[in-house]
Chain A
Amino acid sequence: MGLKSSLHNLKEKYRGTKMAPAFGAFHTFLYLPNDTTHGGTHIKAADDLKRTMNTVILALIPCLIFGMFNAGYQHSLAFGEVEHVSEFFSASFWTLDNFMIGFWKIIPLVIVSYVVGLGIEFIFATINDHEVEEGYLVTGMLVPLIVPIDIPLWMLTVAIVFGVVIGKEVFGGTGMNILNPALTIRAFLFFAYPTWMSGDKVWVEGAVERDTLIAAGENLDAISGETILGSLAQGNEVGYSVMDMFYGFVPGSVGETSALLILLGGLFLIFTKIGSWRIMLSSVIGALAMGLIFNQIADVGIISEGSKFYGLMNTTFWHHLIIGGFAFGVVFMATDPVTASQTNRGKWIYGFLIGFISIMIRVFNPAYPEGVMLAILLMNVFAPTIDHYVVQGNVKQRLKRLKVKKA
């Protein structure tokens, strides 16, 4: 009783002051508020935005934890400390050492993400005098999962400030933004600091540092942690099996590697009805369609084996689903309800085009062979247009009904 009533008294004290939004954010985090209905329905369903966002975070937690183990594993593998694993429950992958290496690299990313992002949200909520909205809870968890492990924290900070302010707050905050904020942050990093977002060094903890040591004249072997897409784009042999890709024992952004855990997360989101199955399914269909088209082009021989596109075009079409950031993007980013299509029919079109364009960009952009981020951002921009035409369909039907009646 003590905590509840003293918090209640504080709430009354801060009511109407500049402190109210910030205090409210902490208070409602601890306690579901005592607000009752006024006018309208007298009862309300159990779900609120906090619960919705929390469900997405729950779906992300396995990817985060796996990312920690994988960061450590990739590091140990590159430094020759462990053997290559091929089983999901392999003892040399799930070690405390691996976890601790990843943990100490990734927790700072998570903390920076939340502190900077939520800090901006609090400032804007106080300035605009509205409640602190929950949108950033998910964004803050997504951001550390879609960046390379070795990204310097100051770069991340700059990108988050840009992404949250320009990507979201200038439009009016949660619910009003056009672009997915997490992807805006990533796109900013990608265009502002390309050397830290691609290549074969940033994906493995310690590789960049090793390079600096070599440059300083130390006699060490350089570490290469090329992503699968990177290898394919350069026409190199991929050193990983399909199961490696599916389980996620490969280099890549922190949370994107394990298709298995992303699949589980996606199923959880569909089951809880928080994520749109229409978008996820249609994206997969779109990607498979584009993959098949490219496979055909490669098979028929339109493109020669020496072409720089050949490696990715010839990739078995369904492998596209489990390599790179495709799965993660489709499950967790394309389904963001604010920036996706809002009509059910629109979601099919939106999702399909994301899948289709992702693979297209992936194949035709070998300098940076990942397309899902740009595909989603592009479709974010087009989502209102898609919705417009879907809604116009309904409007036209209504006009037609009127004409039939008059005739």
Chain B
Amino acid sequence: MSNDIRIKKGLDIKLKGEAEKATEKAIISNFYTLRPEDFHNVIPKLIAKEGSKLKAGEPVFYDKSNKAVKFVSPVSGEILEITRGEKRKILAIKIQADKEQSYFDNGKFNLDATPEAIKAHLMASGCWPFIMQRPYDVIANPDKTPKAIFVSGYSSAPLSANLNYVLQEKEAELQAAITVLGKLTEGEVHVSVGKHGKSPFDSLKGITLHNVSGPHPSGNVGTQINKIDPINKGEVVWTVTAQDLVIIGELLLTGKFNAERVVALVGSSVQKARYFTTKIGSEVATMIYDHGIDKDANVRIISGNVLSGKQINPDGYLDYYSNTITVIPEGDDYEFLGWTMPVFNKISTSRALTFSWMFPKKKFDLNTNTNGEHRAFVTTGTYEEVFPLDIFPMQILKACMYQDLDEMEALGMYEVAPEDFALTEFVCVSKQPHQEIIRKGLDLMLKEIG
């Protein structure tokens, strides 16, 4: 069965530095880092300590609110250092990798197991954190049964890794993961793929396939949920990113937690944008310098895409959920009369002496300048142009700002995640931090309503 989803509202941000379809093996990183902040709302309780020797896939910490949910080491090695911040909050767990990798054996899994057995296996093996839930965009609560599971097999965010390319020949792993996850929901497993191109999902069984087309955010799973089966109050859906299904699938088939991932190194500051095979948590320095950036270039390195990724330092690490590393120029310079001059080299959805509308195919080289200062909300109608969900974006943002829980709920807060507001944040004339506002709103609801 196949269904079409067409998005009209949105914006394709065309940037320079798209990855060439060629994959290299990244230099093997000596150090790997797990950062608890990648797992929103998780309070880590350590199992291992400094000096512990671990195999790949052995637990490092668990979630305080649910002991069963384990977070495992992506590699085998020794815990070198645990960095702590204020109130002894754990910031990072640094692991020195062994030269010879050894894997913790979870055992080959019987794909016909009961839902309870599946959950227990995924939680113990460190795969559970790959399953996210909405409402609230946090790691799924294993006690609730989702009404459906959504996977986006199509990426529309600027310069993001092409999923058809990175998932090729992974059909077996994807199928195993989907077969097993499908048993955890009463409903269907919805997978959306791009309308054009051949996706490894095309031939899978046990899924409802959707063809999506249209501008970004058509590839965002939030958009797809809204168009396929929107979340109502009291309902839960789960989402898993396509590349994490591969890790889950491999675990089920072989018993090994293999944190390997194909990552796109992209952005206008990169000399040769291409794909790398690397592992979760590896140092980005292993990838960005070879035909990448100059040693002391004034650039922004982002683990993730330019809209929702995290800023990292050159000695930083690939975060737990990303399959893209983007490097773009920093924009920390003044521009003479920049607010009034005609603009040809930046993207704009208006035509207020901005001329990107004249070059719909041009690829832009954008930097991190905010192009203006933070202001109160003034203009209206601009967000709606790039926001395809059936939700009033400005009204829900304001409801989050004045923390009216009833209104947030009524306006559709259960359906959204911060990344759904990345485009409205990009076009915002008042330069408001939309994603942060939504994240805080979701956290408030989670705390008050749960």
Contact = CB atoms under 8 A, between A and B. Distances in A.
A170 interface: no
A391 B431 contact: no
A292 B417 CA distance: 50
A49 B429 contact: yes
B90 interface: no
By CB atoms of chain B within 10 A, which of A33, A45, A337 has the most? A45
A264 to B, nearest CB: 15
B57 to A, nearest CB: 32
Contacts of B377: 175
A8 interface: yes
A302 interface: no
Contacts of B101: none
A37 B307 CA distance: 11
Contacts of A134: 375
A49 B233 contact: no
Given A36-B330, A54-B340, A342-B380, A43 B13 contact: yes
A39 B336 contact: no
Contacts of B328: 42-43
B391 A394 contact: yes
Nearest to B424: A41
A337 B380 contact: yes
Interface string B319-346: 0000000101011111111111001001
Nearest to A346: B380
Contact of B334 (A34, A49, A338): A34
| Interface-central residue, A36, A37, A394, A405, by most chain B CB under 10 Å | A37
Nearest to A174: B376
B347 A46 contact: yes
Nearest to B427: A45
Given A31-B336, A36-B330, A272-B351, A50 B372 contact: yes
Nearest to A33: B373
Nearest to B374: A131
A31 B338 contact: yes
Interface string A31-65: 11111111111111111111110110000000000
A271 interface: yes
Contacts of B412: 394, 398
B429 A48 contact: yes
Interface stretch (B26-34, B74-82, B123-131, B432-440): B432-440
A402 B333 CA distance: 50
Q: Residue among B367, B373, B395 with the most chain A CB within 10 A?
A: B373
B378 A338 contact: yes
A340 B369 contact: no
A133 interface: yes
Contact of A41 (B232, B307, B334): B307
Nearest to A28: B373
Interface residues of A, number: 62
Nearest to A390: B392
Given A52-B429, A401-B230, A133 B375 contact: yes
A7 to B, nearest CB: 8
A4 B370 contact: no
Contact of A54 (B302, B339, B356, B428): B339
A274 B430 contact: no
Contacts of B351: 271-273
A176 interface: yes
Contact of A30 (B232, B336, B372): B336
B99 to A, nearest CB: 36
B306 A51 contact: no
Given A34-B334, A43-B328, A48-B339, A272 B371 contact: no
Interface string A210-252: 0000000000000000000000000000000000000000000
Interface size class of B (residues with CB under 8 A): 35 or more
B347 A394 contact: no
A46 B371 contact: yes
A35 B430 CA distance: 14
A272 B373 CA distance: 21
B411 A41 contact: no
Interface string A97-133: 0000000000000000000000000000000000101
Most chain A CB within 10 A, of B346, B379, B425, is at B379
A28 B340 CA distance: 11
B430 to A, nearest CB: 6
Contacts of A7: 334
Contact of A394 (B233, B348, B379, B411): B411
A173 interface: yes
B370 A35 contact: yes
Nearest to A403: B232
B394 interface: yes
B348 A46 contact: yes
Contacts of B350: 47, 52, 55, 272-274
Contact of A35 (B235, B307, B373, B376): B373
Contacts of A391: 392, 395, 411
Interface in B341-391: 343, 346-354, 356, 366-382, 384, 390-391
B369 A34 contact: yes
Contact of B335 (A31, A173, A176, A344): A31
A43 B433 contact: no
A295 B347 CA distance: 49
A276 interface: yes
B284 interface: no
Contacts of A394: 390-392, 411-412
A387 B429 CA distance: 21
A343 interface: yes
Contacts of B376: 133, 172-176
Contacts of B333: 34
Interface in A168-216: 172-176
B373 A41 contact: no
A45 B348 contact: yes
B22 interface: no
A176 to B, nearest CB: 6
Contacts of B395: 342-343, 387, 391
B426 interface: yes
Q: Which interface residue of B337, B356, B384, B395 has the most chain A CB atoms within 10 A?
A: B395
B309 interface: yes
Nearest to A269: B352
Contacts of B211: none
A405 B148 CA distance: 14
Max chain B Cβ within 10 angstroms of own Cβ: one of A4, A133, A271, A342? A342
Contacts of B369: 32, 34-37, 44
Nearest to B347: A45
A31 B235 CA distance: 50
B286 interface: no
B422 interface: yes
> When A and B form their complex, which 9 residue pairs have the shortest distance between CB atoms, in order from nearest?
A48-B372, A32-B338, A175-B376, A46-B346, A50-B339, A31-B334, A32-B335, A46-B348, A55-B352
7 contacts: A32-B336, A45-B346, A52-B350, A176-B376, A337-B379, A342-B380, A342-B381
